[in-house]
Chain A
Amino acid sequence: MAVLDPDVIHRAKAGDERAFATLVEHYHARCVRFAQQMLLSAEDAEEAVQDAFVRVYDALPRFDESLRFEPWLFRILANRCRTSRVRRRRLDSFVVFSDNTPELAVGPLGDDAAHEELWGLLDSLGAEQREAFLLHHVEGMSYDDMAAISGVGVSALKMRVKRACDVLRARMLEAYRA
C-alpha cells in the first residue's frame, strides 16, 4: 500500500479539507475492511467508519505529529467498533415499535457466500481475540502499535493472537472434515 505523505496529515491538521479528503481516500477502504470484520455487519461498519473519521477530524488539531498517524486512526476506529457493539446489544433488546426500527437492525451478513464463510469464522472469535488477530495479521500492525491502540500489554496481545489462530485453525479443520 502506498505511503501517505506526512504533509497531508500536517495540512489536514491545519484545517485543509482537501488534505482531509485525501486522508479519507487513503485509509477508507482499510478502515471499512477492519470495521466490517470486527462488527460483521456492513451497515454498522459504515457507521463506525464514518464516526471514526469525524472524530479524527475533530481531534486532528491535537494530534502529535511526532507520533505515527495510522495507529492513532485505528485506535479511534477500534473504539468506535467497541461502542457500536455495545449499542447493537442494546438495540437488539429493544421492542420493535414502528416500521422505521428495522433501519437500525443488524443486516444480514450479505449475499456474498465468501463473506459469509469468512465472517462466520471470525464470529467464532471473541471480540478481543478478533481485534488482536485482525490488527496483527490483516492490518499488519506491530505488537507495539497494537498495544498503543488497545491499551493492552504486548504479551497479552500475543497470547490473544495465538489463541485466535488456534480457534480459527480448529474451525477450518472441522469444516474441512465435515
Chain B
Amino acid sequence: MPDDRDLDSTDDVIGGLVKRLQTLPASDLRARAAILARVRGRRQSPWRAALAEAWQPSVPLLAAATIAVAALGVGYAGRVLVEPAPTLVDGADASPVTTPVVPVSNDGTIRVSQQFVLDARTANRVLLVGDFNGWDRTQAQPLQRLEGGVWAATVPLRPGRYTYAFLVDDSLTITLDPRASTVRDEFGRESSVILVTDR
C-alpha cells in the first residue's frame, strides 16, 4: 500500500492541468434567473405536500399509475394509427410531442409559449401542475378540450427545464405525459420533463 503522501502528490504536469481546469465559467445571469424562477413560491404550497403524499411509492398506486400511463399510450398509438391528428390550434402542427413554439418578449423577459397536450377522451377536467406553478393545484392551468378528446394548454415559460404532470378529473394521483421523457427525483417520484428553449 503506498504512503498517503505518495497518493496525494502532484507534479508540474498535473498542477498545470489543474490550473487550467480551475478557470471559472463566465457569470450567467440568465441561468441564475432560471433557478430563482423555479424556486419562487415553492415553500408556500400545501398542495405540493399533498402531492408528495400521493407520490409515495405504494404498490397499488404504482400499479394504477402504470396501468393509466400504459392505457394512455395504447390509446394514443391507436389514435395515431386509425385517425388523422386533430387540429390543436390555428396553424399549429399536431406533433406527437409537447411542442414549443413562439418566442415572445414580455417586459424584457424571454418567454416561450409552450403547449402541453394530453389525450384523455373520457376526462371531464384536466389540470396542469409543475415547477412553473409550484405544483400548486390552486394555480394549476386548466387544459382546454379540443376535437377528439385531446386536451391542450399553452403556457408562457422562461427558457429552462421543467417537470410537470396532469391532474385528471380532480384525482390526487398525477398522470404523466406519455409523450414526454420521465424523470425520477431522489425520493423515487416520477414526473414528466420538458426543456424549454428560446431557439
Q: Given that A33-B25, A87-B183, A100-B100 are known contacts, is A50 also in contact with B10, CB under 8 Å in the complex?
A: no
Contact B7 A15 (CB under 8 A): no
Complex: how many Å from CA A46 to CA B29?
A: 12
Range for the number of chain B residues in contact with chain A: 35 or more
Bitwise interface map of B from 16 to 39 toward A, beta carbon under 8 Å scored 1, else 0 = 011011111111100110111011
Contact B38 A50 (CB under 8 A): yes
Q: Given that A99-B95, A104-B181 are known contacts, is A54 also in contact with B31, CB under 8 Å in the complex?
A: no
Whether A103 is near chain B, meaning CB under 8 Å from some CB there, is yes
Whether B42 is near chain A, meaning CB under 8 Å from some CB there, is yes
Residues of B within 8 Å of A172, CB to CB, are 13, 17
Contact B195 A47 (CB under 8 A): yes
Bitwise interface map of B from 154 to 172 toward A, beta carbon under 8 Å scored 1, else 0 = 0000001100000000000
For window 45-62 of A, CB contacts with B under 8 Å fall at 46-47, 49-51, 53-55, 57-58, 61
Chain A interface (Cβ within 8 Å of chain B)? 15, 17, 20-21, 24-25, 28-30, 32-33, 36-37, 46-47, 49-51, 53-55, 57-58, 61, 79, 83, 87, 91, 97-101, 103-104, 114, 118, 121-122, 134, 137-138, 158-159, 161-162, 165, 168-169, 172-173
